[in-house]
Each structure stands twice: as structure tokens, then as C-alpha cells.
Amino acid sequence: MEIRFANAAAPKAGALALLVHEGRVLTEAGRAMDEATGGALVRAMEASRFEGKRDQQLVIVAPAGVALTRIVLCGAGKAGEADAARYQALGGAVAAAFNAAGDKEGTILIDGVEGEKSDLAEAAAEAAFGARMRSYRFDKYRTTEKPEKKPTLERLTIAATNSAKRVYAAREAVADGVFLTRDLVSEPGNILYPETLADAAKALKKDGVTVEVLDEKAIRKLGMGALIGVAIGSVRPPRVVVMQWNGGRKGEAPIAFVGKGVTFDTGGISIKPAGGMEDMKWDMAGAGVVIGLMRALARREAAVNAVAVVALVENMPSGSAQRPGDVVTSMSGQTIEVLNTDAEGRLILADACWYCQDRFKPQAMINLATLTGAIIVALGDHHAGLFSNDDTLSERLAAAGKSVGEQLWRLPLADYYDKQIDSDIADVKNIAANRGAGSIIGAQFIQRFVNKVPWAHLDIAGVTWSKADTAITPKGATAFGLRLLDRLVADHYEGK
């Protein structure tokens, strides 16, 4: 779908979406269109329950004498209260409506009402961003899809002001990163495994990102025994990918991102139940988000030094697989008693986080992982879990998440929980003796390998995959965390 920008004017063809504020208040463009249609818009509203409330829609077949296919009235809520999320949702909903109706060309006309002050360029850019985000599809393996289920919208014009194109550029870069992440997370495990995911990361070189891939020999040489322990059950060898974007001041410490990349997780010897195991193709979502984020930062030429490390393994049961009760030595030198091979994400993050902080000395480090099912029990599918050793970093992350609609909820870390992973025969064990506070225990384990760097752990297990369409996210991979981290960088680390 091509997105164009134009000044506020009604199109001469295709479908048209108009904003209506609560109380059935038409904008100037809406009043003009109502007059041109002989009052059809007002009559349609009066004959329906449409009030102009947020997220409401009313579709009107264009009457004779108007060179349009249909007119969609979009509830914009109370005048003066529209924000970025509202315009994004509006853009996504309109794009979905145009596709559902079979339109090939459509226009969203954005203008204000008397007494309302709004930045039309920002509003138009957000609507375009929402439309682009909602337009995502992962259909590369479909060969028999019915024509009526395929998207039809080829061109969407946002009619507000031509200057919106410049404002939209940075958002388009973020959308590019989101689409990359969604593609990676959607791929099946037979296609996406450590080597091919590393190859996908290498494609970021075209965007100006420096990419280094560590193979199994290099990983072993570094002493990443925790990561190797997870990988040895699979015929697919592990990889660690290091990505650097140097857009900030020379010599300035980077902000670091670390991603869990278990390309398929059977649970290993502690094997998972068969029901739902197919979802474990997206146990690499943390790595997927980190890779997509680096694309977004590079394509919008972010003025920041950023480094990303993703640990890539496949967790499989076999004759060579790690056993419950095994003891491995991590890169930090700490020994780990592996009591459950299905608690593998924290093992690979132990080595990845230690490597990242030891090599790059970042000013802050954030890891993302689909780490625990317990976080889904605690928070469901609307919030990700936030754990941190630094209040300032935690507050910044929560604020960034709120501003983009990727909500976080902070949970505690404390000595009480930390003592529960003391091992009788090694330095630490990878699970506690009981199932209580499972997400906290996972975070507590990772914290032992961050070496007092300002750090945060985002447990995204509940928010990585959506079972239904939302305003700007189709059913499937969400790329949750990417927009949040991009906003964090823009607000607190870029150009500072």
C-alpha cells in the first residue's frame, strides 16, 4: 500500500474518510461534503447510533452526483482531546474499512473544527503510521487464498497538509523496523533457526549497522557455557550476533539492548506439553524486537550510539541435550545448576548480558525476552513485566511505554527472592524450589549477570503475539517493545 500526503481537499474519486467529533460535530470539510450530498451525512447520522465517539464508524454509500464510492464517517471523540494514539487508531481502522469494502484508492481528510488547535502535520503523520501498521500481513506461505480475503487498497492519501510527509519520515522508519520484527517472529522454526536469523540480522549492514556474527567456536572460546548448554541438544549450532549503530558522539558510552533468541523451544529434556507447542516458534521475539529496533534507529538516523546483542539457540531434546541437574559455567565464571531445561532463556541471557556489559560498558542495558508463562498469569496480554535495578531507567521505560501504547508494569526484585535461587552445589540454580513468583525468579537470575550496570528486563511473553486484530496491529506478531524502546532513545539518549 502506497501512502501519499496532500493538502486538505476532498478527492475526486475513490473512498473518503471524514472526521466527526463527539456530538455529531462535523469539521469544515465534513460540512462542505454534507452540503454537496444534499445533507446525506447529517441524515445518516440522525438515522443511526453514530455520535462521533472515539472508534465509531459509519459507512455511507456515496449518493448520486458525488464522484466517490463511499464516505466513511470516523468518530474522533471530543474536539481538542485527540492525541497520537487516537489518530493512529483512526488511520488503522480506516485502512481496514477500505480493504474490507474492496476499495483500491482511499483518502482520509483531516481538518479541524472551530476553536480547536491541532497540528495537522502531526495528526496526518500519526494517521498514516496507524494505517501502515495495520496494513501488515504475513502471507508468504499462502497459495490458495480467496480473492475476497486479499487486501485491495493500493493507495491511501492523507489529505491535511503536504508538510506531513517530512514529519512521517521518522515514523516510517519505525514501521520498517516493526515489519521486520513481525516477519521474523512469524516465520516457522524450520525456516528460522540460529543461522538464518543471524543472516537476517546481517542484512542490517545495508542500513549502516555494523554486524558481527559469533559462531559456535567463538562462543565456546568466550566461555559462554550457559548458552552452549542450551544449544547442544540441537543439530542447529548457536550464534551470537552483535550489532552497532554509531550515530552519537564519538566515544560516548552506548545504550545497549539484549534479546533472547530461542528460535524454537521444546523445553529440552524438560519437554513441554504438545498442545500449543507450535507457538514456541516466537520464543525468539526478544531478539526479533532488538533486530527491528536497530533497523528503525538506523533508518531514522538516530543521534545515538546503540549496541545490540542477540543470543540465538534452538532448545531441543536429544541424546546430547543438557539434563536436569547438570552444572555449567557461565562466561562470568559463575556456575549454574540447571534444574529445569525449559528455563533456558535466562541461561542464554546470562551469557549475553555479561558479554554485552563487559565488552561495551554501556550507560544502560535493557534485555527483552519471552521469558516466563508466569507473566501471562500475572498480567495477561496487555502489559509486559518490567524489572529493574535502577529507578530512573524504570520510570523512563514506563513513561515511554505509556506514550506509545506499549504498557509496562513494574514488579519487585529483592533479596528474599534472590536467596531462593542459591544452589546447594553451584553458585546459582536456574529455578526456585516452588512455582511462586516465577517471573520475579527469572529476572532475579538474570540480575546476577549484569554487574551493577543500570539494567532493565522486559518479560514480553504475554504481549508478543495477538490472537485478534487491534487498532494498529493485525492478529499475529506484535513487535511489542520496539516502539517503546525507540521512544526511550528519542526522549532520553539521543543527541544528549
Residue 84: per-residue pLDDT: 92
Judge whether 165 is annotated as a binding position: no
Q: Which of the following is catalytic: 31, 53, 272, 410? A: 272
**Candidate from 81-85, 194-198, 445-449 with smallest mean pLDDT:** 81-85
Average pLDDT of the chain?
A: 96
C-beta contacts of 186-190 below 8 A and 24+ residues apart: 186/138, 186/282, 186/476, 186/477, 187/281, 188/281, 189/263, 189/264, 189/280, 189/281, 189/314
Instruction: Name residue 386's beta-bridge partners.
Output: 410, 458
Q: For residue 229, what pLDDT is reported?
A: 98
Catalytic residue among 346, 396, 429, 483: 346
Same fold, 2-162 and 172-492: no
Average pLDDT on 22-33 reads 95
114: pLDDT strictly greater than 60: no
Reported as a single tens digit per residue, the pLDDT across 248-307 is 999 999 999 999 999 999 999 999 999 999 999 999 999 999 999 999 999 999 999 999
Question: What is the structure's pLDDT at 274?
Answer: 97
CB burial string 155-183: b at 16+ within 10 A, e below: ebbbbbbebbbebbebbbbbbbbbbbbbb
Residue 260 annotated as binding site: yes
The per-residue pLDDT for 495 is 78
pLDDT value, residue 316: 98
Q: Is 103 annotated as a binding residue?
A: no
304-330 pLDDT per residue, tens: 999 999 999 999 999 999 999 999 999
| Predicted confidence (pLDDT) at residue 64 exceeds the cutoff of 90 | no
pTM: 0.96
Q: pLDDT tens digit string along 467-479?
A: 999 999 999 999 9
The whole-number pLDDT of residue 255 equals: 98
pLDDT of residue 82: 79
How far apart CA 399 and CA 394 sit, in angstroms, is 9
Domain 172-492 has CATH 3.40.50.10470: no
Residue 238 clears pLDDT 90, i.e. is over it: yes
Query: Looking at the predicted structure, is the pLDDT value of residue 148 above 90?
Result: no
Q: Would you tell me how many other CB atoms lie within 10 Å of the CB of residue 416?
A: 11
Q: How confident is the model at residue 79 (pLDDT cuts 50, 70, 90)?
A: confident
Q: Known binder of ligand: residue 419?
A: no
Average pLDDT over residues 33-56: 95
Nearest C-alpha neighbor of 107 from the set 127, 81, 134, 122: 127
Establish whether 346 is a catalytic residue.
yes
272 is catalytic: yes
Q: Is 265 annotated as a binding residue?
A: yes
Percent of the chain with pLDDT over 90: 93
For 377, which DSSP code?
H
Average pLDDT over every residue of 46-60: 95
Mean pLDDT for the stretch of residues 45-74:
93
Percent of all residues in the chain with a pLDDT value above 70, rounded to a whole number: 99
Q: What is the pLDDT of residue 116?
A: 54
Does 2 have pLDDT greater than 90? Answer: yes
Pairing of the two strands 57-61 and 70-75: antiparallel
- 417-455, pLDDT tens digit by residue? 999 999 999 999 999 999 999 999 999 999 999 999 999
Closest Cα partner for 243 from 197, 279, 193, 191?
Answer: 197
- How much is the pLDDT for 117? 54
Encode 6-21: b = buried (16+ Cβ within 10 Å), e = exposed: bebebbeebbbbbbbb
Checking if the pLDDT of 115 tops 80, the result is: no
In CATH, 2-162 is 3.40.220.10: yes
Domain borders along the chain are 2-162, 172-492
What confidence tier does 63 reach under pLDDT thresholds 50, 70, 90?
Answer: confident
Convert the pLDDT of each residue in 199-228 to its tens digit: 999 999 999 999 999 999 999 999 999 999
Give the pLDDT confidence score for residue 113 in this predicted structure.
Answer: 56
Three-state secondary-structure class, residue 491: helix
**What mean pLDDT do residues 366-379 have?**
98
